[in-house]
Structure 1
Amino acid sequence: MSNSSLTILKSTAQTGRLANPYFRQEQLKSLHDILRRNTDAIIAALESDTSSTTSHATTECALTLNLIKSHYSSIDPVAELEAEYRIAKSKDAEDAREPWGVVYIEPEWRHTPFFNIVSALSTSLVAGNCVLLLLENTTRALPTLLRKLFAEGLESDCYAMTAAPPEKAEVADCLRISQSPEAKDANSVGLGLVASGGRVVAVVDRTANVAVAAENLVTARFSFGGTSPYAPDIVLVNEFVKKEFLEEVLKRSIPFLAGSSSPLAVNGSANGAVSEKAGFKSNGKRSAAELESALKDIKETRSWNTNVITHGSNGAILDLSSALSSAKLLHLPPKISHPLFLISSFSSLDHAIDLISHNQNQTRLLAAYHFAPPKHAKYLSQFIKADRAFVNHVPYHILLGPAAPSYTKYPSTSHPYGPDCLTRPNPTFITPPPEQLQLSAVLVSQDQRAVKTLSFSAIQEIKVKPRPENIAIGFFEQGIFIGLGLYGIPILSGIGAGIFFAARAGRRRWCGA
Structure 2
Amino acid sequence: MRMDPIQRLQESVIDGRTENVRYRQNQLQSLHAALCSNADLICNSIAEDTQVESSNTEVETEYYLSTNAVKHFYEGLGFERSINEEYLVATGVDNPQRKVGYGLVIIRPTTHTRLYSIVCPLAAALAAGNIVVIELPDTLLKVDAILKDILPAALDPDTFIISAKFIEDPSILSSSLLVDQTSVSTTIIANSLSSQNKHRAIAIVDRTADIDCAAKAIVAARFKFQGASPYSPDLVIVNEFVKDEFFATCSKYASQMFVSGGKAKRSRNNAEAETRKSFEDAVTRGQLSTFGFADCILADVTDSTCPVTEIKVHGCYLPIVTSTSMVDSVIKEMKSSLLAAYIFAQPPEAKFLAQHLKAHLTVINQIPVNLLVGPAAPSGTAMEYKYRYSSEMFSISRPQYISALPTELSVVDEHLIPGWNANRTTKAKQLRSLATQKLPGTGQAQGLEHSGAGDRVGTVGVGKES
TM-score normalised by L of structure 1: 0.81
**2:351 is matched with which residue?**
378
Q: Which moved more, 1:73-82 or 1:230-239?
A: 73-82
Q: State the SS of the aligned residue for 2:355.
A: helix
Contact 2:203 2:343 in 1 (8 A): yes
CA distance in 2 between partners of 1:357 and 1:51 (Å):
39
Corresponding letter in the other structure for 1:87 = V
Alignment of 1:116-195 (within 5 A): 116-166=117-167, 167-182=169-184, 191-195=191-195
**1:40 is matched with which residue?**
40
**1:233 is matched with which residue?**
234
Corresponding letter in the other structure for 1:5 = P
**1:494 is matched with which residue?**
none
CA distance in 1 between partners of 2:35 and 2:436 (Å):
66
Following TM superposition, by how much is the alpha carbon of 1:51 offset from its aligned partner in structure 2, in angstroms?
5.6
Larger Rg: 1
Q: Write the deviation string for residues 234-288 of structure 1: whole angstroms up to 9, x where unpaired.
A: 01000000011111111111133448997825436xxxxx9xxxxxxxxxxxxxx
**1:340 is matched with which residue?**
317
CA RMSD of aligned residues (A): 2.8
* Residues 433 and 304 of structure 1, relative CA distance in 2, 3 Å threshold: farther
Q: Write the deviation string for residues 74-115 of structure 1: whole angstroms up to 9, x where unpaired.
A: 111111111111111111111111110110000101x10000
The sequence identity of aligned pairs, in percent, is 27
**1:401 is matched with which residue?**
374
**1:320 is matched with which residue?**
301
Corresponding letter in the other structure for 2:382 = K
CA distance in 2 between partners of 1:189 and 1:52 (Å):
37
Following TM superposition, by how much is the alpha carbon of 1:464 offset from its aligned partner in structure 2, in angstroms?
3.4
Corresponding letter in the other structure for 2:42 = I
CA distance in 2 between partners of 1:20 and 1:304 (Å):
64
Contact 2:184 2:196 in 1 (8 A): no
CA distance in 2 between partners of 1:304 and 1:14 (Å):
63
**1:509 is matched with which residue?**
none
* Residues 234 and 89 of structure 1, relative CA distance in 2, 3 Å threshold: same
Alignment of 1:274-423 (within 5 A): 294-301=275-282, 305-308=287-290, 310-322=291-303, 332-358=309-335, 360=336, 364-413=337-386, 415-423=387-395
CA distance in 1 between partners of 2:233 and 2:289 (Å):
18
Alignment of 1:56-67 (within 5 A): 56-67=58-69
**2:215 is matched with which residue?**
214
Contact 1:171 1:190 in 2 (8 A): no
CA distance in 1 between partners of 2:191 and 2:462 (Å):
53
Q: Which moved more, 1:447-456 or 1:434-443?
A: 434-443
Contact 1:304 1:331 in 2 (8 A): no
1:15 aligned onto 2:15: yes
CA distance in 2 between partners of 1:29 and 1:68 (Å):
8
Following TM superposition, by how much is the alpha carbon of 1:404 offset from its aligned partner in structure 2, in angstroms?
0.3
CA distance in 2 between partners of 1:333 and 1:220 (Å):
18
Q: Gapped runs of 5+ residues in structure 1?
A: 269-273, 275-289, 480-513
Q: State the SS of the aligned residue for 1:80.
A: helix
**1:488 is matched with which residue?**
none
CA distance in 2 between partners of 1:122 and 1:156 (Å):
16
CA distance in 2 between partners of 1:260 and 1:353 (Å):
35
Following TM superposition, by how much is the alpha carbon of 1:412 offset from its aligned partner in structure 2, in angstroms?
3.1
CA distance in 2 between partners of 1:347 and 1:34 (Å):
54
CA distance in 2 between partners of 1:148 and 1:258 (Å):
37
Q: Write the deviation string for residues 380-435 of structure 1: whole angstroms up to 9, x where unpaired.
A: 1110110010011112111110000113123332x111011110111111112113
Contact 2:132 2:159 in 1 (8 A): yes
Following TM superposition, by how much is the alpha carbon of 1:292 offset from its aligned partner in structure 2, in angstroms?
6.8
Question: Residue 68 of structure 1: which of 49, 67, 70 is its match?
Answer: 70
Following TM superposition, by how much is the alpha carbon of 1:468 offset from its aligned partner in structure 2, in angstroms?
5.2
CA distance in 1 between partners of 2:308 and 2:268 (Å):
29
**1:450 is matched with which residue?**
427
Following TM superposition, by how much is the alpha carbon of 1:126 offset from its aligned partner in structure 2, in angstroms?
0.5
Corresponding letter in the other structure for 1:158 = T
Count of aligned pairs:
445
Following TM superposition, by how much is the alpha carbon of 1:460 offset from its aligned partner in structure 2, in angstroms?
3.1
Contact 1:51 1:224 in 2 (8 A): no
TM-score normalised by L of structure 2: 0.88
Q: Write the deviation string for residues 61-86 of structure 1: whole angstroms up to 9, x where unpaired.
A: 11111211122111111111111111
Following TM superposition, by how much is the alpha carbon of 1:181 offset from its aligned partner in structure 2, in angstroms?
2.9
CA distance in 1 between partners of 2:344 and 2:410 (Å):
55
* Residues 263 and 373 of structure 1, relative CA distance in 2, 3 Å threshold: closer
**2:248 is matched with which residue?**
247
Q: Write the deviation string for residues 276-326 of structure 1: whole angstroms up to 9, x where unpaired.
A: xxxxxxxxxxxxxx8676333223148871111x212231111112267xx
**1:434 is matched with which residue?**
406
CA distance in 2 between partners of 1:243 and 1:462 (Å):
56
Q: Which moved more, 1:66-75 or 1:225-234?
A: 66-75
Contact 1:51 1:225 in 2 (8 A): no
* Residues 461 and 73 of structure 1, relative CA distance in 2, 3 Å threshold: closer
**2:99 is matched with which residue?**
97
Q: Write the deviation string for residues 2-36 of structure 1: whole angstroms up to 9, x where unpaired.
A: 97211221221222221111111111111111111
CA distance in 1 between partners of 2:131 and 2:49 (Å):
28
Following TM superposition, by how much is the alpha carbon of 1:440 offset from its aligned partner in structure 2, in angstroms?
2.2
Q: Write the deviation string for residues 459-507 of structure 1: whole angstroms up to 9, x where unpaired.
A: 234343231588999996989xxxxxxxxxxxxxxxxxxxxxxxxxxxx
Q: Gapped runs of 5+ residues in structure 2?
A: none
Q: Which moved more, 1:429-438 or 1:161-170?
A: 429-438
